[in-house]
Every structure is written in C-alpha cells, then in structure tokens.
C-alpha cells in the first residue's frame, strides 16, 4: 500500500487527491492519510506531491514505518478529501525548509 509520511504535516498541499482514481485520501486539519483498504497502489500520487510525502510501503525507512499504522488507524475515522483545497499557511515555508521548491 501507499502511505502519507511526515512531510505532509504543515503542508497539506492536497494535489495528491486530484490524481487518485479511488478516493482513498482522508484528512484532518493538519494532514492527509491513505486508507490502505481502498488504495489500489497505482502510484499516481507520488509525483503529484510537491514535498514527496507519499511513499510505497516497501520504500519506507525504519523511522517511517510508523506511518503504515498511523495511516491505517486514522483514515477510516476522517472525511474523504476528493478535491484540491488551499495548502496550509505554513506550506511554502515548509517546502523551502525541505529544499523542495
């Protein structure tokens, strides 16, 4: 499955949802999560994210493996996000900090 990792925090660009064919993204006010029971592993969202937040499960580092559990636990309780929304006010600063702009 695919998972949304740490870089989504403070960004929440939501470009990922616009390319997802199955609406597997759910969100709270801070970030998005992928429902692993809905994701079809198409990988379309990986290049869509401006901060590289989305990874395939097998590409995760040891530090990132926690995101598998967090995405699976959080996604089902949150609303599905299907349309692009405004990024968080901190998004561009965070993107610069990550050296990704």
Q: Out of 20, 24, 39, 49, point to the residue binding ligand F3S (CB under 6 A).
A: 49
Shortest separation between residue 58's beta carbon and ligand F3S, angstroms: 18
Residue with tokens 């590289």: 52
**Cα 24 to Cα 81: distance, rounded to the nearest angstrom:** 8
Establish how many alpha carbons lie within 13 A of residue 84's alpha carbon, considering only the half-sphere containing its beta carbon: 9
Q: Enumerate residues 6+ apart whose C-beta is below 8 A from 77.
A: 26
* Residue 71 makes contact with ligand F3S by CB under 6 A: no
Candidates 8-16, 35-43, 55-63, 68-76: pick the segment binding ligand F3S (CB under 6 A).
Answer: 8-16
**Cα 82 to Cα 66: distance, rounded to the nearest angstrom:** 25
* Residue 24 makes contact with ligand F3S by CB under 6 A: no
Binding site for ligand F3S (CB under 6 A): 4, 8, 11-16, 31-32, 48-49, 51, 53-54
């Amino acid at each position: 499955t695919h998972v949304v990792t740490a870089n989504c925090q403070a960004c929440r660009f939501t470009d990922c949802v616009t390319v997802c064919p199955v609406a597997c993204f759910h969100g709270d006010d801070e970030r998005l999560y992928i429902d692993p029971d809905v994701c079809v592993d198409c990988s379309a969202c990986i290049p869509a994210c401006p901060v590289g937040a989305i990874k395939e499960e097998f590409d995760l580092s040891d530090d990132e493996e926690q995101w598998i559990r967090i995405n699976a636990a959080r996604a089902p309780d949150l609303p599905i996000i299907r349309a692009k929304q405004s990024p968080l006010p901190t998004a561009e600063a965070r993107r610069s900090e990550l050296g990704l702009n």
